[in-house]
């Protein structure tokens, strides 16, 4: 059933922010972009109980059924140079992990570069960073999809092996109050934002490193321009993936899908 009571009255922790709650939208990120272009302040959040055209990275669809997850998009307006925008993915990933951990005690929670939050090795959340300009000022819309109460059979068949939810990672499988998760998520996003914004998110990647399940592995990264293979050694300060192969250090990669693994020494 589509209901918005669970999210109503939740406040944005940003001083000028507010939270707009919808029963259903094509995409919260499209709505947030519309608001940002109209001058909405930093900290504006759009939440929908369901999305009919939820978007993931690289043109993929994001399954966003009613009653089960947190589908939200946040507008921020940090002072960053264009090449520094990916730092925001590190910031958001850290916040999502830290907000989610208390709800799944005992499970392993990590981040698969660039933007997948994994719980017990399966994807529970993803972030979509989109940037734009309004009134000469840049803005970013950070879209977050967090699977909260899905049970395995709720996921479309092709996702079932790779996707999970916070609830599915609980030993007893009890449902989780999405309002509590949304509040924890916004609180954590704000806390880390407030700490990182003055230094242009320089520390975001350092915060991310301990959660990474990508570093130290042999990986194949498939991007729009082709694939590269090597050992994932580190992140650049802007959050690009730095690798090496038998011939030396590889050009840092800014996006793509990590498709292969195997533990190696860093």
Q: What is the x/- site pattern for ligand BTN, positions 193-232, by CB under 6 A?
A: ----------------------------------------
Q: Given candidates 10, 13, 20, 28, which one binds ligand BTN under the rule CB under 6 A?
A: 28
Instruction: Give the nearer residue to ligand BTN in terms of CB position, either 62 or 155.
Output: 62
Q: Look at residues 210, 10, 204, 182 and name the one whose alpha carbon lies nearest to residue 100.
A: 182
User: Roughly what angle, to the nearest 10 degrees, separates helices 87-100 and 178-196?
Assistant: 140
Q: Given candidates 71, 103, 113, 139, which one binds ligand BTN under the rule CB under 6 A?
A: 71
Q: Is 263 exposed, middle or buried (0-12, 13-18, 19+ CB in 10 A)?
A: exposed
Q: Residue 63 interacts with ligand BTN (CB under 6 A)?
A: no
Length of the chain: 266
Q: Residue 235 interacts with ligand BTN (CB under 6 A)?
A: no
Instruction: Give the nearer residue to ligand BTN in terms of CB position, either 54 or 239.
Output: 54
Scan residues 8-27 and list those touching ligand BTN (CB under 6 A): 27
Q: Residue 115 interacts with ligand BTN (CB under 6 A)?
A: yes
Q: Residue 57 interacts with ligand BTN (CB under 6 A)?
A: yes
- Phi, psi dihedrals of residue 110, rounded to the nearest 5°: -150, 175
Q: Given candidates 4, 24, 41, 56, which one binds ligand BTN under the rule CB under 6 A?
A: 56
Q: How far is the CB of 45 from ligand BTN (least distance, A)?
A: 11
Q: Residue 51 interacts with ligand BTN (CB under 6 A)?
A: yes
Instruction: Give the nearer residue to ligand BTN in terms of CB position, either 250 or 253.
Output: 253
Task: Determine the size of the site formed for ligand BTN (CB under 6 A).
Answer: 22
Instruction: Give the nearer residue to ligand BTN in terms of CB position, either 60 or 162.
Output: 60
Q: Residue 126 interacts with ligand BTN (CB under 6 A)?
A: yes
Instruction: Give the nearer residue to ligand BTN in terms of CB position, either 13 or 54.
Output: 54
Q: Residue 29 interacts with ligand BTN (CB under 6 A)?
A: yes
Q: Residue 86 interacts with ligand BTN (CB under 6 A)?
A: no
Quick one: how far is CA 244 from the chain centroid?
26
Q: Which two tokens stand for residue 149?
A: 């109460």
Q: Residue 62 interacts with ligand BTN (CB under 6 A)?
A: yes
Instruction: Give the nearer residue to ligand BTN in terms of CB position, either 17 or 143.
Output: 143
d(CA 241, CA 233): 8
Antiparallel, parallel or unpaired: β 137-147 and 69-76: antiparallel
Query: Which residues contact ligand BTN by CB under 6 A?
Result: 27-29, 51, 54-57, 60, 62, 64, 71-73, 115-116, 126-128, 143-145
């Amino acid at each position: 059933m589509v209901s918005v009571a669970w999210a109503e009255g939740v406040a944005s922790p940003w001083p000028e922010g507010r939270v707009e709650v919808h029963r259903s939208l094509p995409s919260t990120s499209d709505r947030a972009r519309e608001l940002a272009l109209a001058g909405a302040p930093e900290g504006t959040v759009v939440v929908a109980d369901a999305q009919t055209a939820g978007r993931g990275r690289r043109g993929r669809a994001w399954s966003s059924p009613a009653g089960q997850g947190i589908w939200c998009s946040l507008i921020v307006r940090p002072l960053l140079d264009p090449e520094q925008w990916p730092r925001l993915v590190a910031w958001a990933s850290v916040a999502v992990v830290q907000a989610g951990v208390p709800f799944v005690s005992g499970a392993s929670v990590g981040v698969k570069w660039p933007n997948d939050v994994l719980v017990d090795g399966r994807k529970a959340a993803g972030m979509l960073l989109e940037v734009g300009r309004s009134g000469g000022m840049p803005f970013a819309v950070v879209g977050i999809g967090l699977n909260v109460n899905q049970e395995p059979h709720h996921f479309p068949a092709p996702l079932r092996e790779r996707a999970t939810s916070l609830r599915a990672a609980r030993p007893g499988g009890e449902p989780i109050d999405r309002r509590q998760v949304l509040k924890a998520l916004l609180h954590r996003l704000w806390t880390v934002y407030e700490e990182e914004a003055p230094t242009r998110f320089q520390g975001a990647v350092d915060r991310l490193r301990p959660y990474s399940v990508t570093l130290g592995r042999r990986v194949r990264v498939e991007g729009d321009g082709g694939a590269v293979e090597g050992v994932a050694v580190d992140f650049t300060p802007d959050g690009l993936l730095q690798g090496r192969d038998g011939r030396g250090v590889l050009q840092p990669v800014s996006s793509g899908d990590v498709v292969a693994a195997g533990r190696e020494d860093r």
